[in-house]
Structure 1
Amino acid sequence: MTEQEREKRIHEWAQRLYAQLQDCLPSCLNEADLRNRIDPLLDKFCVQIGLNPMAHAEYSLATGRADAVFNRLVIEYERPGVLKPTLTDRATQHAVEQVKRYMEGIAKKDRHAVERLAGVAFDGKHLIFVRSSNGSWAVEPPVAVNEQTLARFLRWLSGLASGIALTPENLNRDFALEQSRTQNILHSLYHALNTALEQPDGLVSKLFEQWQLFFSQAIDYSEAFGGRKLEPLQKWVRRAGIEIKSQHEAERFFFALHTYFALLVKLLAWQALSRHLGGKISAPIFSQLLAAEGEQLRERLQHMEDGAVFRTFGILNLLEGDFFAWYLHAWNSTLENALRAIIRRLDEYDPATLSILPEETRDLFKKLYHYLLPREVRHNLGEYYTPDWLAQRLLNQMDNALFDPHTPEPKLRQKLIETRWLDPACGSGTFLVLLIARMQALARPLMLSETELLEAILQNVVGFDINPLAVLTARVNYLLAIADLLEHRRREVSIPVYLADSVLMPAIGRDLFVQNCYLFPTAVGVLMVPRTLCTPQHFDRFCDLLEECLRREMEPDAFLHHASNLGVSLSEDDHKQLRQLYKQLLELHRKGLNGLWARLLKNNFAPITVGAFDYIVGNPPWVNWEHLPDRYRENTKDLWSHYQLAGQFKGGRPRLGTVKVDLSALMTYVVMDKLLKRDGKLGFVITQSLLKTAAGAGFRRFKLPDHTPLKVVLVDDMVALNPFEGASNRTAVIILQKGRDTRYPIPYTLWRKVKGEKFTYDSTLDEVKAATRRLNLYAEPVDPHDPTSQWLTARPKAIHALRKVLGQSAYKAHEGVNTGGANGVYWVEQVMTRPDGLIVVRNLTEGAKRKVDEVTEPVEPHLLYPLLRGRDVQRWRAEPSAWIIVPQNPHEPSTAYPEVQLQKDYPRTYGYLKRFEKILRERSGYKQILSKREEEFYGLMDIDHYTFTEWKVVWREQSSLMTAAVVGAYEGKLVIPDHKLMLIDCASEEEAHYLCALLNSSIVALKVLAYAVSIQMDPHILERLRIPRFDPQNPVHRRLAELSARAHQIVSQWDGKSARSEDAETVPIPKEIDLEAILPRLKPEDAAKLLEVVNAYQRAQTELQTIEQAIDEAAAQVWGLTDAELREIQQSLKELSASPDEEETSA
């Protein structure tokens, strides 16, 4: 049965049901009477559409196929008049609970997921639709029985007889790489592409170049798949019989893969429109593709690809500016057969799911893309799709009134019609679809007609993206979201999702001859458009005219004649530029390179023609400046300076590239400047580092170039949640308002996981809230005189206390020695000492980033030093576990020994380094730094006099809390910390212990947590930390040194994991030990010994806690903190540093 036939029968039977109800309701005394009059009609309807109704003592039940939209539909009859128009009525609530119980019982008995069941409560006067979705019940308000609501009820019933439900799980099952049909299509597309690209001037080559041009703005394939990053992709694509050997071949494969994904999306869109509109208008039906073969199939697909199919349905721009129709120009029988297998399987799907279960399809393509690509490959591409719950949270924060789940106020009606939203990096359309869903939910209570609602959505919900595949996916998601409204349209529909760059908008030419034109670079040259035409009123009409004239191959004079009728006053120069543009495109058209450029033009200019917005939301690309593709970095260089995001050298020159600025910062400022109305709000998912690092200073200026202020409304810090699937991104949400001043402190919500609770990428917002707790903190600049300084985030009283700690430090921290990526050369272990004094060493190659041969050689002992690595340092303890070759003179450590001197004095060490010369010269640090200041190929970086002091305080860079420890000489030699450790050089052991005590205090710990990026304990943590110089005459300073020395003794003795008795025997001490279970199994003497060791260990831990409390109290004296302020700091630290296992379960 076709969709049109089924829809016709649904309407016929809805009329019959309604007539029967009108006739029987006056005489129906109870639910049994009603059921006896209605069930026979439903039985006949079920038989007609291929269902088998099943009688049941308590309810009526119909069953369907396993992968249909629903497997079971429960119908709960009630006495006529029992159900009331509101869900708050007691009898109505009872009926709903009955339906839920029946559904849960059937699900348990038949081992079905309750989400695959549906229920309806029915009393002849009202209907209540009940479903389970994402772990919670979705109960719709009661609706009055009429022909329309009965038709919906029958549509739910017909969902049991549907084809395969259009869900991400079913699509993944049928179209992921494991399926032979997918392997065949990818293999066919990849080889057809390689063959077509052998003709460099052909259409396929030009489309591929233009795709590269657009994608190069988002993805650098040499970066994404360079070196070892290529391996997971190679392993994955071998399953499709494809071998990839370079990033260039990877780029071709992704063009083929995107083509396949785009085909699925387009075909599903065609199928959905056939379902919704095919029976109402004369349009090509999707199922007609099944009968087509050879050239006829190619022609029908051509009609789809050029948008003709969708224009027949009244959708003007679903497909335009599309690079992925190239396969029609590389057609062969292998490709045709692979395509036919895809079409055959898709024909078995039923888009009825879109109407019946809208929540199943809102992220349909996002999930499909997730399933299609392995996580590691997606992450190499920088593709992190926003979870729906995170997008929903952001939208709720943007406009509480609009997203309030309670009954909306009538005053919202005008707001719904007039408020404009933009997602400038819309991806697959997550934010757009959620917005559309909310507008649809509000429409009925606000008395908005379907026509008014459709117009409001199309006018007010807009998206941009520079990824052609994302734009196509977002458009189709958008289309599916409004599919039920399309029959109510007054005009043809353009989906307002554009292939456009929100950052690098079309620019005015600088040259004298093109200064009144916008420039648009393409793979076939730069296209120039007169500025006069680039307005919201005229540009779309101009592009449509351009495309129409090209299609008819009109001469330039005819085109100019029609252009003069656009209602724009064109100058002589405008006519010249238009003539040049048209001739340029006409030549391409006549060469067969047609049908694309005018549409791309329309899309690219969207940011300057679509008008301004009340709200801008989204998840902009998180790409660091240094990882941007070269071309894009160069093209955006002036923008970074214009918005003062580049940072400044002392002389005032921009220092872009010397600080780690992020593209999300630039997009924030550009779209607020160009596209946001005054008093409008922007809500972005950004990297928290923009708020917490020096590189974000320009972002924290919160002022546009014309001095328009930007107000920070609030921040959600979700770093601890890691909301992006499989990625440890530092996620934050920020909301800004244009035209208002930022006033500190700012509400800053810190999200933390709750012990024992879990959530996933697919969880709902309510589920995430239940699994987390939120700390209501505040944020303000650490320097009250510099509003661009990093933020301090804590409770208000704690911030007040920390102000006493802030200031200038008497000490400076440094990074440890950096080998420049050649640890496997310089890091060694001692094998033996020879009688002649030479030491035989073996280089440590395990875990080295650069592949290095393992060698064992003798070297002189003079340049061999104990190496302290991150793993060797814990709080109150540092002990080297390896050695490092340091070819620098301790008296002039910033440069390496001259090569001649090294050959004379240390020939064995020189010989060892010489065998690695090629690797050492290829180090990025050598190329960029060392080679410019010295000739020696073996020099080290980040090394100076401070490296060669005997006493140092060190701590790990990567740590959630401070791990300071004192280190002195080891085996009679100075210890060299590596670059993952930070160090402060000290004049004496006592000074080092004083400094270590302060750094390990709760006061510094809170300052670091509140100020720095918590896992980056780099040298900057000493900035703005007022540590006074050690004074041996100061009793508080000496007391701190003594306490630190004792803490080191305790930790050294017990090592946190083992206990050392006086005879140096090591006894393992587990973190948790069940003495009651272990002691009875031991001999009495062994049990006594173990008990003695455990008790001693516990006493030591208690003493250490006492020492650390004493350190806090002494440190408070150093900084002039009161007892109450110290308690506030300790409590805030406990709250902020709690791990998920320590979190309380109350939110």
Structure 2
Amino acid sequence: MRRWRRSSARCAKKCRICCAWSAMPSPPTRREAILARSSLAPDPTTIRIELGRESVAFCRAREELARLWRRARLDPALALKRRLWAELLKLVHGREIEGDDLWLQHSYLVIVAKCIALALIRMPEDDPRRLLSGEALAAAGINGAVESDFFDWVTADEAGIALARRIMAHVRRFRLAEVESDVLKILYESLVDRDERHGLGEYYTPDWLAAKVVRHAVDRPLEQRVLDPACGSGAFLFHAVRNFLREADESGMAPARRAKAVCNHVAGIDIHPVAVIIARVTYLLALAPALAAREGGLSIPVSLGDAMQPSIGAFMAGRELTLGAPPPCGWAHVLVGNPPWVAFRHMSADLQKRFKDMARGEGVYVGGKLATQNDLCALFTARAATLYLRPAGRIAFVLPMAVLTRGQFAPLRSGSFHAAKIQWDEAWTMDESVQPLFPVPACVLFGRRCAIAKAPPDRLRAYSGSLPLRDASEEVADARLTVRENAPALDVANFVGGSVYRAHFFNGATLFPRMLCLVEREGLRLGADASALVVVSRRNAQEKQPWKDLADVENKVEAEFLRPVLLGESILPFRLFQTFAGVIPVTQTGELLDAEGAANRGYAGLHGWMRKAETLWRDNQTAAHSFLQQIDYYGKLASQFPVAPLRVVYAKAGNRPAAMMVKDAAAVVDHKLYWSAVARESEALYLCAILNSETARARIEAFQSRGRFGARDFDKVMFNLPIPRFDGKDRLHLALAGTAARAEEIAAGVVLPEGVKFQRARALIRAGLTEAGVAEKIDALVARLLDGG
């Protein structure tokens, strides 16, 4: 679809949409009346084209909203609305996330959603004030779908009223009674910033999957009360409502009773204020088949709140947004939905503290080296089951596939929580081929609240295959996806046992943020101390906020604290690619120095650098610990000192393994690598042969976590294999070491083009090893070793 980049006045040919949005006057003109009578299909593609981020409607509305806000922000009452909106987003995210762009995106999105609600019931209302406040729908006996909120600031200006009328006229062109899916999530995903949604762990479920989950979990729709405690834009609510209405039609329930009855059986909760507004309108769209025949009023049961604890209720009492009454404890016969996926390391400091306390209370917290891998979805699942699910009630949640295999989810898999027990009785998986879907492979876990907990079964339903678009219908999904029933369960990753080498390899130091750790050497300055170099922050295109916008740190640093650093991209199979310079505030004896410690020991240069780094960290970090604690997280920096003269390092992640022998007694290893000190080169070569082999990779693939492009993380899963300790008298071990030595020679002779990226460099090395026949020989030897030969 062509994107219009010019205003309608300058279009090369007349465009009816552009004309409709070129300063349409109020009351409606003849052209607007014609457009209002025109007809558009309410499918996801058309919704996105007509109303999404790339649409003419949004571009024009965004410009007009910006002009309106420049005037409105001077009004104290309207400025208060924006401030309350910003405070609520900060409460939801645990950090500042607001900005004018987001404020205007939310305003547009809410206006469109409310116009859709009004257009659905075909009300001739033309007063945007009554529309945005909810008065028009309330007069029709529909409460809770549209209410006054932050975003009715637009109607304080006549130009804003005219804009709302234009949006209303545009929305009325859709045949909304024909909606068959959660079309509003298309707008939400298009218009709400991706980083904002990622921060909340929001990954919206496509309708084909939501429909299947609801039908499978809710087998008695007219009897079971269904709750989605993290409803987002309302996909699961939509299909739960339609599921109820289909059953009501088949059972002969009186049409006049259906709308009110379903509102007593299907409910939702969400923590995000805009998502709640969208979900309420989605719910109304789902009710469309029952609205015309309804008798009496009805109230849309979607409430604003934190399903895990009532923190938002206290904050919002009496302010702008109506919370709605959340269902009482033990209300639901069925819980469905897609809880937030947020790893502990990505949570704000406040959420991390709350998470630890609550996860320990529910019995799902995992400590030790897996602590940073804890995920909010595990806590949310346990907490929702505890609070809302009735005894013998059913739960069906969409979760990351890692839930079925990774150690951090072991308590969730057990089903044994402190206040509830779940028998997990069924699982579906969607592997990396099922795209577009989520950023990582997913699963659906089905269970029931019982007196005795039970882990997932050893057989599951496995989906594979690609889809033409993310918003594919269920019919398209059925045609394009392969379903394998009774597939074997995935192997659970082991974190103990296996090879003796498991305990001898360690993760490198968390040298982040990079700009405070890695440096470019500026060289000696005239008159400066020759034992110190002036260095400046090393920058790269992958930096994240807030670090990417901060100014460089520059200072002289004593030479003994400037060390080579090995990152993930530093190593190739059997060969060093490049090292990076870093400020490493550790003495030769392993003593870590902060700014004060450096000053006390007379290291003026290191003191200057650390003082600047600590200030930036303190002003911009989200974690509670100090900068020195950050780079020595879990002691992973201090444990490298004194630096061993001979080590084996391998990459933590990647599609193919990369390992090499390191003889540099000064280099520090970053957390993207694992390392082990070894006593002899023959043992180092033996390990490099195994860790670089395709045979070993293929055998541990089932244990790896998976991303969009397949298995990705190695961590220590290589040591699930029975790799024996090196024996200098064993011929097979010596043969592996000797072949690895030959591999080193070949790798060193591969010519790498100037400026080549490390991924391409690794591929060139592997090609050279394959061409020489060495890769095949190593694979055969590793197979013999692992098979006990």
TM-score, normalised by the number of residues in structure 1? 0.55
Offset at residue 1104 of structure 1 (A): 1.9
1:465 is aligned with what amino acid? D
Q: Go from structure 1 to structure 2 and tell me whether the alpha carbon gap of 1:193 and 1:423 turns closer, same or farther (over 3 Å shift).
A: farther
Gaps of 5+ in 2: 1-14, 18-33, 755-759
**2:625 corresponds to 1:928:** yes
User: Which residue is equivalent to 2:788?
Assistant: 1117
User: Which structure has the greater CA radius of gyration?
Assistant: 1
Q: What do residues 774-815 of structure 1 show as CA deviations (whole Å, max 9, x unaligned)? A: 6734136556xxxxx79xxxxxxxxxxxxxx83654642223
Partner Cα separation in structure 1 for residue 333 and residue 393 of structure 2? 5
Q: What do residues 348-385 of structure 1 show as CA deviations (whole Å, max 9, x unaligned)? A: 55466123x333xx333222333434655655675543
**2:327 corresponds to 1:607:** yes
Q: Residue 622 of structure 1: which of 326, 338, 341 is its match?
A: 341
Gaps of 5+ in 1: 1-64, 68-157, 199-203, 225-246, 279-284, 290-296, 403-414, 507-518, 525-592, 650-654, 784-788, 791-804, 1059-1067, 1073-1093, 1119-1147
**2:449 corresponds to 1:738:** yes
Backbone CA RMSD of aligned residues: 4.7
User: Which residue is equivalent to 2:214?
Assistant: 395
Number of residue equivalences? 729
Q: What do residues 603-638 of structure 1 show as CA deviations (whole Å, max 9, x unaligned)? A: 24x2217x6333211111223456556666666765
Asked if 2 retains the 8 angstrom alpha-carbon contact of 1:616 and 1:683, the reply is: yes
Partner Cα separation in structure 1 for residue 315 and residue 460 of structure 2? 44
User: Which residue is equivalent to 2:179?
Assistant: 358
**2:569 corresponds to 1:747:** no
**2:75 corresponds to 1:195:** yes
User: Which residue is equivalent to 1:1040?
Assistant: 736
Q: Go from structure 1 to structure 2 and tell me whether the alpha carbon gap of 1:456 and 1:747 turns closer, same or farther (over 3 Å shift).
A: farther
Q: Residue 323 of structure 1: which of 135, 142, 149 is its match?
A: 149
**2:470 corresponds to 1:761:** yes
SS of alignment partner, residue 298 of structure 2: coil
Asked if 2 retains the 8 angstrom alpha-carbon contact of 1:888 and 1:896, the reply is: no
Q: Residue 277 of structure 2: which of 457, 472, 475 is its match?
A: 472
Partner Cα separation in structure 2 for residue 214 and residue 927 of structure 1? 22
Asked if 1 retains the 8 angstrom alpha-carbon contact of 2:341 and 2:377, the reply is: yes
Q: Residue 778 of structure 1: which of 464, 489, 494 is its match?
A: 489
User: Which residue is equivalent to 1:1052?
Assistant: 748
**2:658 corresponds to 1:963:** yes
Q: Go from structure 1 to structure 2 and tell me whether the alpha carbon gap of 1:312 and 1:1016 turns closer, same or farther (over 3 Å shift).
A: same
Offset at residue 1051 of structure 1 (A): 2.9
Partner Cα separation in structure 2 for residue 521 and residue 863 of structure 1? 50
Partner Cα separation in structure 1 for residue 770 and residue 501 of structure 2? 36
SS of alignment partner, residue 489 of structure 2: strand
Partner Cα separation in structure 2 for residue 633 and residue 947 of structure 1? 33
Offset at residue 987 of structure 1 (A): 0.7
Partner Cα separation in structure 2 for residue 863 and residue 160 of structure 1? 71
Asked if 2 retains the 8 angstrom alpha-carbon contact of 1:218 and 1:629, the reply is: no
Asked if 1 retains the 8 angstrom alpha-carbon contact of 2:508 and 2:672, the reply is: yes
Offset at residue 983 of structure 1 (A): 0.7
Q: What do residues 225-257 of structure 1 show as CA deviations (whole Å, max 9, x unaligned)? A: xxxxxxxxxxxxxxxxxxxxxx5xx2x764554
**2:557 corresponds to 1:846:** no
Q: Go from structure 1 to structure 2 and tell me whether the alpha carbon gap of 1:829 and 1:348 turns closer, same or farther (over 3 Å shift).
A: closer
Q: What do residues 831-865 of structure 1 show as CA deviations (whole Å, max 9, x unaligned)? A: 7999x9989886572318455649798975x6665
Q: How does 1:287-686 map to 2 (within 5 A)?
A: 287=126, 289=127, 301=129, 303-305=130-132, 307-320=134-147, 322-324=148-150, 327=153, 332=156, 335-347=157-169, 349-350=171-172, 353-355=175-177, 357-359=178-180, 362-373=181-192, 375=194, 379=198, 383-395=202-214, 397-398=216-217, 415-441=220-246, 449-451=254-256, 453-454=258-259, 456-505=261-310, 521-523=314-316, 600=323, 603-604=324-325, 606-608=326-328, 612-625=331-344, 628=347, 638-647=357-366, 658-686=371-399
1:965 is aligned with what amino acid? M
SS of alignment partner, residue 683 of structure 1: strand
2:657 is aligned with what amino acid? M
User: Which residue is equivalent to 1:795?
Assistant: none
Partner Cα separation in structure 1 for residue 167 and residue 724 of structure 2? 74
Q: Go from structure 1 to structure 2 and tell me whether the alpha carbon gap of 1:482 and 1:633 turns closer, same or farther (over 3 Å shift).
A: same
Q: How does 1:694-733 map to 2 (within 5 A)?
A: 694-706=407-419, 708-719=421-432, 721=434, 723-724=436-437, 728-729=439-440, 731-733=442-444
SS of alignment partner, residue 391 of structure 2: strand
2:423 is aligned with what amino acid? L
Offset at residue 500 of structure 1 (A): 3.3
Q: What do residues 873-929 of structure 1 show as CA deviations (whole Å, max 9, x unaligned)? A: 1233334444445554444466699747975xxx8xx64774674125544699935
Q: How does 1:882-901 map to 2 (within 5 A)?
A: 882-884=580-582, 886=584, 888-892=586-590, 899=598
Partner Cα separation in structure 2 for residue 325 and residue 899 of structure 1? 53
Q: What do residues 1004-1037 of structure 1 show as CA deviations (whole Å, max 9, x unaligned)? A: 4356433343566475446766544322223333
SS of alignment partner, residue 944 of structure 1: helix
Q: Go from structure 1 to structure 2 and tell me whether the alpha carbon gap of 1:217 and 1:711 turns closer, same or farther (over 3 Å shift).
A: farther
Q: What do residues 79-120 of structure 1 show as CA deviations (whole Å, max 9, x unaligned)? A: xxxxxxxxxxxxxxxxxxxxxxxxxxxxxxxxxxxxxxxxxx
The structure, 1 or 2, with the larger RCO (C-alpha pairs under 8 Å, 6+ apart) is 2
User: Which residue is equivalent to 1:953?
Assistant: 648
1:992 is aligned with what amino acid? A
Asked if 2 retains the 8 angstrom alpha-carbon contact of 1:176 and 1:182, the reply is: no
Q: Go from structure 1 to structure 2 and tell me whether the alpha carbon gap of 1:613 and 1:885 turns closer, same or farther (over 3 Å shift).
A: closer
Asked if 1 retains the 8 angstrom alpha-carbon contact of 2:39 and 2:175, the reply is: no
User: Which residue is equivalent to 1:919?
Assistant: 613
1:960 is aligned with what amino acid? N
Q: Go from structure 1 to structure 2 and tell me whether the alpha carbon gap of 1:822 and 1:260 turns closer, same or farther (over 3 Å shift).
A: closer
1:872 is aligned with what amino acid? S
Offset at residue 643 of structure 1 (A): 0.7
Offset at residue 989 of structure 1 (A): 0.5
Identity of aligned residues (%): 21
Q: What do residues 1020-1059 of structure 1 show as CA deviations (whole Å, max 9, x unaligned)? A: 446766544322223333233223223333333336889x
User: Which residue is equivalent to 2:10?
Assistant: none
Partner Cα separation in structure 2 for residue 430 and residue 810 of structure 1? 44
Asked if 1 retains the 8 angstrom alpha-carbon contact of 2:179 and 2:285, the reply is: no
Partner Cα separation in structure 1 for residue 300 and residue 391 of structure 2? 26
Q: What do residues 1052-1073 of structure 1 show as CA deviations (whole Å, max 9, x unaligned)? A: 3336889xxxxxxxxx99989x
Asked if 1 retains the 8 angstrom alpha-carbon contact of 2:650 and 2:691, the reply is: no
User: Which residue is equivalent to 2:22?
Assistant: none
Partner Cα separation in structure 1 for residue 429 and residue 753 of structure 2? 37
SS of alignment partner, residue 625 of structure 2: helix
Q: Go from structure 1 to structure 2 and tell me whether the alpha carbon gap of 1:1046 and 1:902 turns closer, same or farther (over 3 Å shift).
A: farther
Q: How does 1:1126-1145 map to 2 (within 5 A)?
A: none
Partner Cα separation in structure 2 for residue 933 and residue 824 of structure 1? 11
SS of alignment partner, residue 143 of structure 2: coil
* Greater mean deviation of Cα atoms: 876-885 or 1017-1026: 1017-1026
Q: How does 1:1022-1101 map to 2 (within 5 A)?
A: 1027-1054=723-750, 1100-1101=771-772
Q: How does 1:849-860 map to 2 (within 5 A)?
A: 849=543, 850=547, 851=550, 853=552, 860=559
Asked if 1 retains the 8 angstrom alpha-carbon contact of 2:112 and 2:167, the reply is: no
1:316 is aligned with what amino acid? N
Q: Go from structure 1 to structure 2 and tell me whether the alpha carbon gap of 1:337 and 1:810 turns closer, same or farther (over 3 Å shift).
A: closer
Q: Go from structure 1 to structure 2 and tell me whether the alpha carbon gap of 1:1053 and 1:807 turns closer, same or farther (over 3 Å shift).
A: closer
